[in-house]
Amino acid sequence: MGISKLPLDQIRIDGGTQQRQLDESAVADYIQLLKDGSEAPPINVVFDGKDYWPWDGFHRYHAASKAGIKTIAAIVTKGTQRDAVWLSFSANKDHGVRRQKGVIKDIILKILADPDWKKVSQHDIARHVGTSHGYVRDCIASMRIRIDAPPAAKKNRPTQKQVHRGGKSYTMETANIGQPAEPDPDNFYDHKADKPEQVKDEVGNVLNPEIAKVFERRQELKEYMRRISEMKCAVLKAIDLKDALFREISAAQIKANCENLYRQFSFAIPYALCPLHADDPLGRKTCTGCKETGWVTQAAYDRIMASKKRSA
């Protein structure tokens, strides 16, 4: 159905489609952006013909609500509330506010406890949730130990035996032999499945180590943006209260200068690999789109893609 402007009071947030607790600091950051005139990316909702069920974008929803904004941009798809729950299992696996530790474990257990969802292959569950196949497999094994194994069998099983080797005798612990390793719940988010974590851009491209280092520093620019917003709000409030210390300062100039500086930082944030040559280090030597860095901002990315579409 595309992007729509939805009234907040038509969006249902009581359908079990939020899989983690809110990060209040992230909500506060979104509120400040909205007050500064910036528009947050659209949230994702499922429309069942009567109600809108959000599955990604709860921080933006609550920020808009607290900021007194009545509508919010949303990418709307048709489906059911149950579809929204399933989609919510994949929210923020590659972007957005980082999921807290333990969230992925809870999601996997919800899937495995559902009579239909547990029929999905382990590989597809891992891909959908954003974890490894090994984690899903270990979680299933741990559930079988807790649920399927008869308690009496566990209780009566020998935990030691005498072993004679090389003319010597010693005691071997046997309690854990044949038992799958119990996964550490706090590791469900950061499990690397025997390979390093891949850093991706905002459109899903895997970044090489050189470019990944730049993308990992995006928070530095966002922190400067936050400070600019705080300064602008503090100064404008002081001027509004007729603080004598600020009597020579122009509210209009402060607002214009801060907003201009804020936009400069916003437009400088790395967004994606340059679409003109992807991750080719040779191709970027003569590329004007990315200025030979290999990556572009969102404005540059949109401009390049629009140009490609026109020439296609």
Percent over 90 (pLDDT), the chain:
16
Highest mean pLDDT among 91-95, 164-168, 210-214, 290-294: 210-214
The mean pLDDT of 173-188, rounded to a whole number, is 48
Among 100, 127, 142, the domain boundary falls at 100
Is residue 186 a part of any domain in this protein? no
Predicted pLDDT of residue 29 = 79
Task: Give the domain range for residue 216.
Answer: 209-311
What is the number of structural domains in the chain?
2
DSSP secondary structure letters along the chain: -EEEEEEGGGB---SS---S---HHHHHHHHHHHHTT--PPPEEEEE-SS-EEEEE-HHHHHHHHHTT--EEEEEEEE--HHHHHHHHTTTTSSSSSPPPTTHHHHHHHHHHHSTTGGGS-HHHHHHHHTS-HHHHHHHHHHHHHHHTS-HHHHHHS--EEEEEETTEEEEEE-TTTTPPPPPPGGGTTT--TTSPPPPB-TTSPBPPHHHHHHHTTHHHHHHHHHHHHHHHHHHHHHHHTT-GGGTTS-HHHHHHHHHHHHHHHHHHSEEEE-TTTTT-TTGGGG-TTTTTSSEEEHHHHHHHHHHHHHH-
- Where does the pLDDT of residue 192 fall: very low under 50, low under 70, confident under 90, or very high at 90 and above? very low
Per-residue pLDDT of 217-229, as tens digits, reads 888 888 888 888 8
Q: Would 282 be classed as within a structural domain? A: yes
**What pLDDT shows up at residue 176?**
52
Domain-located, residue 225? yes
Q: What is the mean pLDDT of residues 166-194?
A: 50
Which of the four pLDDT bands, split at 50, 70 and 90, describes residue 109? confident
Q: Is-contact 132 193, C-beta < 8 A? A: yes
Would 301 be classed as within a structural domain? yes
For a pLDDT cut of 70, what percent of the chain falls above it? Answer: 75
Between 94 and 132, name the one with better pLDDT.
132
Q: Is 126 part of a structural domain of the chain?
A: no
Where a domain ends, among 48, 79, 100? 100
Q: What is the pLDDT of residues 53-103, one digit of tens each?
A: 999 888 889 999 998 889 999 999 999 999 999 998 888 765 555 566 678
6-20, 24-38, 163-177, 248-262: range with lowest mean pLDDT:
163-177
pLDDT, residue 80, reads 94
pLDDT for the residue numbered 38: 73
pLDDT given at position 34: 82
User: Does the pLDDT of residue 157 top 60, yes or no?
Assistant: no
Mean pLDDT of the 155-159 span: 56
**Considering 47, 72, 100, which residue would you say is the last residue of a domain?**
100
With respect to residue 119, please indicate whether it lies within any of the assigned structural domains: no
Mean pLDDT of the chain: 78
Position 173 pLDDT exceeds 80: no
